[in-house]
Amino acid sequence: MSSPLRVLTGITTSGTPHLGNYVGAVRPTVRASRLGHVESFMFLADYHALIKTGDPARVQRSTLEIAATWIACGLDPAKVTFYRQSDIPEITELTWLLTCLTGKGLLNRAHAYKAMLDRNAAAGAEPDEGVTAGLFMYPVLMAADILLFNAQQVPVGRDQIQHIEMARDIAASFNHQYGEHFVLPEAAIEDSVATLPGLDGRKMSKSYDNTIPLFVPREQLKKLIMGIVTDSKAPGEPKYTEGSALFQIYQAFASAEETAAFAQAYADGIGWGDAKQRLFERIDAEIAPMRASYEELMAHPEQVETLLQAGAIKARAVATPFAARLRHAVGLRPLQAVTETKVKSDKAALPSFKQYREKDGQFYFKLADAKGRLLLQSLGYGSPKQCGEAIAQLKAQGWSASPALHEMAAVAEEASAADADAALQILREAA
């Protein structure tokens, strides 16, 4: 029986959940959590919130709102690991370990940091005006969130893919330096609704003040939807679905059949008022049953806190022993007799795999002995999963016993098949 797929996602607790959060993260994650082959980790990213706001009341209120949202939307805390980021001290510890081997050049390329530099340049300000160390180090904290639980998939919008790629790079660097500890995560994107447009047609975001809060009262929801920006085409004139924020939002909530019918209504010249009414009815049909549950949870925050504390216990059952292993790997160990220390040092000098991605988009691995001598070099794999599976097979069976892999990897010129087998045997014995 194969191991479950570990999926992790989180939402920053700096605002009120809106339809974009629901469509892009909450709904697909809740659905995934119900699948038998998925092991779900979901967290409230309150450390991340401190980068965006200095208002303590807002952080606390948002934490409650988002936790209540997920539960109201069908999340079952008994079946998933649902926790608050700040309840897991191992996250900040791992952040520091990763910080110590993450290149500044990598962080310089982060979109959020570059956007600040561009904004300052346009304003004629100093390049780093308003740039906190927290903002600059944001990708490392996100990597720690993911890597501490060895998540295999992370549901994100397309604008967040870079953070997953950075987490992969950081994990690969750590694995190369200290041995294989981290799974290289993959971004999971729901292509049809990667990002949801807001009231003005731009990406729905609190930064643009164009959001539709998820659980506003029914009449307020209708009022907001009626305010979505459209073009000036009159009733009876055919309308374009391409570039229509109203249509894109409808598509995110509707079935394929409903979407096709709505597209036909566009072609037939539906009036914008009628189109917005149809959108309102479709959204409210999905949201209304969850609204009452949300309002009940908001009235009883102690119930939410109890669930989060239970989730923290589950999360730390995974995080605490893994953090101890990582601490040992980097040399943060109890001080013992010199002889024992030497034995441990000798044991730490093991052959190692390095998995990496080249500019051609392919994924590769190499095996080196304890002294860094190259033993095996792979050809390119189409996905990190395939590459990882090949490594796992070699670790389990050895080189000579894995003839199926010989078409995708080769023994290095300065080594032999026996050298590769010997190194793999050492890894099996050390596991």
Indicate if 287 and 309 belong to the same structural domain. Answer: no
The domain that holds 9 is classified in CATH as 3.40.50.620
Given pLDDT bands bounded at 50, 70 and 90, which one contains residue 342? low
Residue 45 is predicted with a pLDDT of 95
Indicate if 284 and 313 belong to the same structural domain. Answer: no
Indicate if 385 and 408 belong to the same structural domain. Answer: yes
As for how many domains the chain has, the answer is 3
268-322 pLDDT, tens digit per residue, is 999 999 999 999 999 999 999 999 999 999 999 999 999 999 999 999 999 999 9
Which pair of structure tokens corresponds to residue 139?
Answer: 């990708």
Indicate if 405 and 310 belong to the same structural domain. Answer: no
Question: What does pTM read for this prediction?
Answer: 0.72
The one-letter amino acid code at 7 reads: V
Helix ranges restricted to H, 148-217: 161-178
Residue 340 is predicted with a pLDDT of 53
Across 238-320, the runs of DSSP E, i.e. the strands, are none
Indicate if 274 and 350 belong to the same structural domain. Answer: no
Which pair of structure tokens corresponds to residue 98?
Answer: 């990763």
Answer whether residue 400 is part of any domain: yes
Residue 190 is predicted with a pLDDT of 60
Residue 337 is predicted with a pLDDT of 47
Indicate if 70 and 123 belong to the same structural domain. Answer: yes
Cβ atoms of 129 and 115 within 8 Å: the answer is no
What's the mean pLDDT when you consider all of the chain? 90
Residue 24 is predicted with a pLDDT of 79
Answer whether residue 261 is part of any domain: yes
366-422 pLDDT, tens digit per residue, is 999 888 889 999 999 988 888 888 998 898 888 888 888 898 899 998 888 888 988
Indicate if 372 and 316 belong to the same structural domain. Answer: no
Answer whether residue 388 is part of any domain: yes
Indicate if 363 and 311 belong to the same structural domain. Answer: no
Task: Show Cβ contacts of residue 270 under 8 Å, excluding neighbours closer than 6 positions.
Answer: 235, 239, 278
Q: Provide the CA 2 distance to its chain's centre, in angstroms.
A: 23
Answer whether residue 119 is part of any domain: yes
Angstrom CA distances, 317 to 8, 9, 88, 149, 181, stand at 16, 18, 10, 10, 17
Given pLDDT bands bounded at 50, 70 and 90, which one contains residue 350? confident
Q: Provide the CA 201 distance to its chain's centre, in angstroms.
A: 25
Answer whether residue 205 is part of any domain: no
Q: Which of 309, 328, 347 is the last residue before a domain boundary?
A: 328
pLDDT score of 346 more than 70? no
Q: Which of 328, 347, 371 is the last residue before a domain boundary?
A: 328
Residue 361 is predicted with a pLDDT of 83
Within a 10 A sphere around the Cβ of 354, how many other Cβ atoms?
16
Radius of gyration of the chain (CA): 25
Indicate if 27 and 100 belong to the same structural domain. Answer: yes
Least confident of 1-10, 143-152, 202-211: 1-10
Answer whether residue 208 is part of any domain: no
Cα angle 242, 154, 95; round to 5: 130
Indicate if 56 and 76 belong to the same structural domain. Answer: yes
Answer whether residue 199 is part of any domain: no
101-141 pLDDT, tens digit per residue, is 999 999 999 999 999 999 999 999 999 999 999 999 999 99
Answer whether residue 203 is part of any domain: no
Indicate if 272 and 292 belong to the same structural domain. Answer: yes
Residue 79 lies in domain: 5-194+300-328
Indicate if 287 and 306 belong to the same structural domain. Answer: no
